[in-house]
Structure 1
């Protein structure tokens, strides 16, 4: 049954009322007829639970088959700071009909985002951000000065939450949500940055885990800034290579029969030379986005058009996600000399794409000191192994990351590979959905080494 037909059938049928969840006052919201919203009140600082409070926005769509409901599935959005509530309440069809039948689907806006006391910064300061790829020590110094001025103003506008948007705080929020929903154990699916939340929860509360799916896996074990950038560079180059191979075998590709690498290098070199319509970072970021979404036809069309004389695209202001990233990653860089060495190392790993878009994360965190949840190897001891899902070619969360997390988990984690391209394999593969649904409903753990062919 396709998802559109399923939604139409669901809309035509009465939805059984879900039992009330302890501690949450639900009200009707969103575009979906059966959607509900609530607010979960939590401390700003979990080490001082009697202090200032904030409200976390929560959304729910009740299970369509309440008589056979397994429980509540909490979805952890990516980003960081992607919205979760709207994905549940506005008819979001991320999950299969099977899961919609058997689980109340719940998600939330993480603290500091959207409906959960969103961080506030000066938009003019944000728009005035320096170019994220640094060229000399003066650029390095200017970025440090900009960062410190921006952070001071963001903290002034946001309040103490600015200092408490880290992963350890989000883990406590997630556990409070589990308890407020009346669930003895957590059933969770995290996507992209949401996998970091699932990993951290499994470490802190292993006895409270029923099942955790990590889709498009973040590896939080990088020992250094160089190791972080190298891993991300590998993923970007691997996805670019997959795009080049697709174009070579696909007649509809706008660059089919052409030397795609030569076209890309020509555009990159022209940006380095100072063409006014786009920068090297713009080209890398657009390539990253299109390979991440496996929009290969759109990427080929864009590259062919710009190579043929059309103007290139410039990115707008990049989002401020600092306290949700910089507090979770220790990525120090002492000076421009060290920074330049990092870029040279990245270029050796990626002779075509040169550097990953995540260089933006490194420059945006220059000077950050309050790292609350630094990188480390995972130590998870859950009764049910965690289920890891990853595409073979994913520019955002590379297969290298997923394999390394599986190694860290040992017998407490199993990776299932989608032998295709793109970010978010549950949405790309019926085979991956079937494996995942069996795991979430029946706790059926697939054999180690399981994979799903591209297109299945």
Structure 2
């Protein structure tokens, strides 16, 4: 049966005896004391230095949760999972347990809230400054961008003040070392790891620092942390996004139920964007108007299941009613702590002139929508105070065991080129492309799941040249 956690993953004890070998945490000399915490989970924690560059200093807690293997006597070990974000994991696991049901045939599935998040020593970022509309991350002009950068900078300052000993310590350089404490505390000589989306950044860091302590590692929907050129990093995202708009148009041409069937979809798109650029389109259902920036920010044609809604939204906007694009965005409060860690790993430039020049270059190759990816990173990182960062760099890895890597052809968030770049640098990795989108395993891609299960349980990589078709 296909299992999904759509809408959960872009958002991730022991009162009765378990056959879990108690492990020693190198940072604390302790073990994980598991307790029942509801929803079939066991919960515990370990402590780690707030700053691994000064390990004798303040300590912080890392919250853990485990979905135990169904047959403790027959299990193959423990699998540490990070579903992405960077964000909390335990509350996501409570909603996504069924996605991991197959894995609990063989493993205790363990997640940890990263340092600073929820069940770990958490950081509560104040929200004193007015927060911009989180539905709009494409900036129409410099004035709008500078206003946003000022607000985002204040958000970052307030978060830093609230972080205490964790201020400036949220990045994958720190998290990789946290992961090794978790490995030891779980009694594992080798770490079995499954990283999805942003969890692949943690995996890249762990592979660089602790290659000899990896058992098996599966990286899904890889975020490349090895490319130092921002234009080179942005371009595959832009090109994939642009291709997806073309896929949407092709679908509509062959689907009689599409609200734009029989019309030139790309021409309709161009006309809607041009009109909204000249003057925002009325959205009477929400009592407002809709700009081109909002339409661009709210459109991601990577998701096939959302194409019917996108077609209706464009048809109505073309007729003069953009209410569908004005509806509030679904999701939690934004900005949140995630961007502090994200921008610690990816210190994106903030100067408007630089960003605008990249947009101009991308418009030449992706004129309809792809160029907008320039501003997604700026939306996260613009104006944030400079902290100690762990910037992108080429991996220097030796002695890794075989690693399995997969990415979806239609994924503009983590495009396939990211996975290919990282796999090539890991030195002993097998890359499996798939016709699909983001989070292949979590979204239930049957071919990918089959290869992942075989690899994690036996260590056998798929044959060279293996590819997965449409789910």
Same fold, TM exceeding 0.5? Answer: yes
Q: How far, CA to CA, are the matches of 2:229 and 2:348 in structure 1?
A: 7
Q: Judging changes above 3 Å, is the alpha-carbon distance between structure 1 residues 165 and 418 closer, same or farther for their aligned structure 2 residues? A: same
Are positions 1:255 and 2:260 aligned together? yes
Per-residue deviation at 1:143? 4.3
Residue pair 2:77, 2:108 contacting (<8 A) in 1 also: yes
Per-residue deviation at 1:128? 4.2
Residue pair 2:222, 2:407 contacting (<8 A) in 1 also: yes
Q: Which of 103, 106, 117 matches 1:102?
A: 106
Q: Judging changes above 3 Å, is the alpha-carbon distance between structure 1 residues 363 and 287 closer, same or farther for their aligned structure 2 residues? A: closer
Aligned equivalent of 1:299: 310
Are positions 1:381 and 2:398 aligned together? yes
Q: How far, CA to CA, are the matches of 1:390 and 1:258 in structure 2?
A: 33
Q: Judging changes above 3 Å, is the alpha-carbon distance between structure 1 residues 43 and 126 closer, same or farther for their aligned structure 2 residues? A: farther
Aligned length: 437
1:419-455 deviation per Cα after TM superposition (whole angstroms, max 9, x unaligned): 2x32111133211111010100100011232111113
Structure 2 regions of 5+ residues with no counterpart?
A: 5-15, 24-30, 281-287
Per-residue deviation at 1:92? 1.8
Higher mean Cα deviation, 172-181 or 122-131? 122-131
More helix by percentage: 1
Residue pair 1:43, 1:52 contacting (<8 A) in 2 also: yes
1:340-390 deviation per Cα after TM superposition (whole angstroms, max 9, x unaligned): 211111212311115234623224423443352111122333442221111
Q: How far, CA to CA, are the matches of 1:284 and 1:385 in structure 2?
A: 40
Per-residue deviation at 1:31? 2.1
Aligned equivalent of 2:432: 416
Aligned equivalent of 2:295: 283
Q: How far, CA to CA, are the matches of 1:258 and 1:128 in structure 2?
A: 36
Q: Judging changes above 3 Å, is the alpha-carbon distance between structure 1 residues 452 and 144 closer, same or farther for their aligned structure 2 residues? A: closer
Counterparts of residues 274-423 of structure 1 (less than 5 Å): 274-275=279-280, 276-288=288-300, 291-292=302-303, 294-308=305-319, 309-311=321-323, 312-313=325-326, 318-320=334-336, 321-333=338-350, 335-357=351-373, 359-367=375-383, 368-410=385-427, 412-419=428-435, 421-423=436-438
Q: Judging changes above 3 Å, is the alpha-carbon distance between structure 1 residues 209 and 126 closer, same or farther for their aligned structure 2 residues? A: farther
Aligned equivalent of 1:10: none
- SS class of match (1:277): strand
Structure 1 regions of 5+ residues with no counterpart?
A: 5-14
Per-residue deviation at 1:87? 3.4
Per-residue deviation at 1:147? 3.6
Aligned equivalent of 2:121: 117
Are positions 1:177 and 2:182 aligned together? yes
Q: How far, CA to CA, are the matches of 2:433 and 2:101 in structure 1?
A: 19
Question: Under a length normalisation based on structure 2, what TM-score does the superposition of the two structures give?
Answer: 0.85
Q: CA RMSD in A?
A: 2.6
Are positions 1:65 and 2:80 aligned together? no
Counterparts of residues 234-253 of structure 1 (less than 5 Å): 234-253=239-258
Are positions 1:449 and 2:465 aligned together? yes
Per-residue deviation at 1:415? 0.9
- SS class of match (2:434): strand
Q: How far, CA to CA, are the matches of 1:132 and 1:310 in structure 2?
A: 18
Q: How far, CA to CA, are the matches of 2:189 and 2:34 in structure 1?
A: 20
Q: How far, CA to CA, are the matches of 1:2 and 1:337 in structure 2?
A: 46
Are positions 1:204 and 2:217 aligned together? no
Aligned equivalent of 2:283: none
1:276-328 deviation per Cα after TM superposition (whole angstroms, max 9, x unaligned): 5333343223222x525753233223333333425122555632323211111
Residue pair 1:330, 1:374 contacting (<8 A) in 2 also: yes
- SS class of match (2:194): strand
Q: How far, CA to CA, are the matches of 2:375 and 2:430 in structure 1?
A: 30
Q: How far, CA to CA, are the matches of 2:361 and 2:2 in structure 1?
A: 46
Q: How far, CA to CA, are the matches of 2:180 and 2:413 in structure 1?
A: 27
1:92-130 deviation per Cα after TM superposition (whole angstroms, max 9, x unaligned): 222352x21100001111122222233322324262479
Q: How far, CA to CA, are the matches of 2:380 and 2:450 in structure 1?
A: 39
Residue pair 1:76, 1:107 contacting (<8 A) in 2 also: yes
Q: How far, CA to CA, are the matches of 1:224 and 1:287 in structure 2?
A: 26
Question: Under a length normalisation based on structure 1, what TM-score does the superposition of the two structures give?
Answer: 0.87
